[in-house]
Every structure is written in structure tokens, then in C-alpha cells.
Amino acid sequence: MKQILKYKLLITILSLTAIVPISYAQNVSVQQFWQLQQQQPHIIIDVRTPNEFSQDHLTSAINVPYQDIATIVTTYKDKELPILLYCKSGRRAEIVATSLQELGYTAVYNGRNYQDLKATQPHPIP
């Protein structure tokens, strides 16, 4: 009887791991975000609305609203290109990270909160 329970448990664990998607995106701290930004090449995507983006954004960020993220496949064909994401709180960036994974991008990083990133943004060297 114990042997049967062990096999059932093993089968359950294996079946659960088979349906969990492999995640290439990760949430990063503000320090990690800026370290990744120092690596070239990369792209920083602000997934907030165009109105939010026009009010202020990180230097060198492009605006691709989260619902339009699939459009980047025409511009950024290299799916290993590091993509750094952010939005107001991190939730929309998390949605985008999942979408980019589904599109095959393998180096996706969620910097989450715009205000924290802006406050710690390194100043460019003149």
C-alpha cells in the first residue's frame, strides 16, 4: 500500500512539473536593473500608456503600451536581446514579460516600479 502511494505521489509531482511553464523573465531589483542596463546591447521598454510616458520616462526607454507588446517582434527579431521592462507598479510589466516569453524572448527582466527606477537612475557621464 505504501508503495502505491509513493508512485501516485511521484506521478502527481511529475505531472505538475510538466505543466509549469519555463520562465525566462525575472523580477530584478533597481540595482540589478541598472547593472543590466550597462550591458550592451539591450532595450528598455516602458509599458505604461502613451500619456504616462509623455509625462516622464527613463532615459533611452521606448514606449510600447502593454496591450501592444506583440508589435515588437517586427522591430526586435533577436529573441536573446536583453529586454528591461517597467511600468508604474510592475503589474503591467509582469503581463508583458509573460507575453514576451510566449513570443520566444529569452532575456526578459522586470524592473517593476518606475518611481524607484527613476530615483536611482545613474546620471550620464558628460
- Residue 111 confidence (pLDDT): 95
Does the global pTM surpass 0.75?
Answer: yes
Grade residue 125 by pLDDT with cuts at 50, 70 and 90: low
Length of the chain: 126
Catalytic residue positions, numbered: 87
Q: What is the pLDDT of residue 4?
A: 59
Higher-confidence position of 73 and 22: 73
Chain-wide mean pLDDT for the chain?
84
99's CB contacts (< 8 A; 6+ apart) are 69, 70
Whether 15 has a pLDDT exceeding 50, the answer reads: no
- Looking at the DSSP bridge assignments, the partners of residue 2 are none
Kindly report whether the peptide bond that precedes residue 41 is cis, defined as omega within 30 degrees of 0.
Answer: yes
DSSP-H helix ranges across 49-102: 50-55, 91-102
What H or E segment, with its residue span, contains residue 12? helix 2-19
